[in-house]
Amino acid sequence: MKNTNVTNIKLIIIGHADRVVNFDLIKKHKSKYFKFSDIERINNLPNAQKDDGYLDVVYTKAEIQSIMNDIEFDGLCIAIMNYGFDDNFYMHRIGVNKVCISIFGLENILSEKTISIENFIIKNTYEVFIFYKILKNLTNSDEVYTFIHNDTRCCLFDMNGDKRDIVYNTEKPSICYECKGKISNKSIPKNFLEEIQKELLKIDKPFIKKVENFISKYPLFSVLVTFVFSTLINLFSNWIWELINGK
């Protein structure tokens, strides 16, 4: 039986964001409350009206609204672009059920902490989904800004005015006690917050990234472990060889 309580999410690739983002990996993410059901691409983009003084292409919120104006979908629409917003924000709500995330300049910030851009997008999807679930309308700015806070708490609703702060609520995303209290006052399904928190814990680094982090943090210990492990492997190999040869 089809679960009618699951929100469908359409991913929209604006430009060539798929050169940076593995959208197939994002589509595989499992949630009790939403699923990535569609992917659409917008390649025919107008020339940006604002010159930022460099060679970078930047768009205004209004320009992105115009680009996505014809998209209709019964669920959430999350657009990803590798161009910047003219106001230097990385995400804008641009309709009742539409948002656009700019990954421009974020890849280097995230890679310094070996955090994937895909996890960043998934983390932001949870933020947008919660707003959509409890407010029904993403353009309700007054309500949205009662949740978003300037101080960084590793919470989904951190403002991240300094883009470098995105590493804190992407590596280990959570919902702070204050925001949990505000969400609890809304009409939400039973155990909604508990289930969401469990899902946020699954937004984690791949095992190989954890190993890389450990090695960079404890290089001497890593060298010692490698030496001990290689020595044991060598001794074990010699023992097997002696058994084979009947010694």
What is the full per-residue pLDDT of the chain (247 aa) written as tens digits? 445 689 999 999 999 999 999 999 999 999 999 999 999 999 989 888 876 655 678 999 999 999 999 998 999 999 999 999 999 999 999 999 999 999 999 999 998 888 999 999 999 999 999 999 999 999 988 899 999 999 999 999 999 989 999 999 998 899 999 999 999 999 899 999 999 999 999 887 554 454 445 455 555 655 666 656 677 777 767 777 767 776 5
In the chain, where are the structural domains located? 7-205, 218-244
How much is the pLDDT for 54? 58
Q: Match domain 7-205 to its CATH number in 3.30.1490.190, 3.10.450.50, 3.20.20.70, 3.40.390.10.
A: 3.40.390.10
Report pTM: 0.82
The residues pairing with 85 across neighbouring beta strands, listed in sequence order, are: 59
Task: Quote the Cα angle for 210-211-212, to 5°.
Answer: 90
How much is the pLDDT for 220? 61
Distance CA 91, CA 156 (A): 13
The closest alpha carbon to 156, from 140, 170, 142, 141, belongs to 170
How much is the pLDDT for 214? 44
Q: Is residue 171 helix, strand or coil?
A: helix
Surface-to-core class of residue 169, CB atoms within 10 Å of its CB (0-12 exposed, 13-18 middle, 19+ buried):
buried
Distance CA 139, CA 240 (A): 68
How much is the pLDDT for 224? 60
C-beta separation of 119 from 203 below 8 A: yes
**Two tokens at 247?**
């010694």
Distance CA 231, CA 124 (A): 45
Dihedrals φ, ψ of 158, to 5°?
Answer: -60, 140
**Two tokens at 171?**
């590596």
How much is the pLDDT for 142? 87
Q: What would the 3-class secondary structure string for 82-95 be?
A: CCEECCCCCEEEEE
Tokens 């679960």 appear where?
3
How much is the pLDDT for 82? 93
Q: Residue 44 corresponds to which amino acid? A: N
Q: Residue 97 corresponds to which amino acid? A: N
How much is the pLDDT for 207? 43
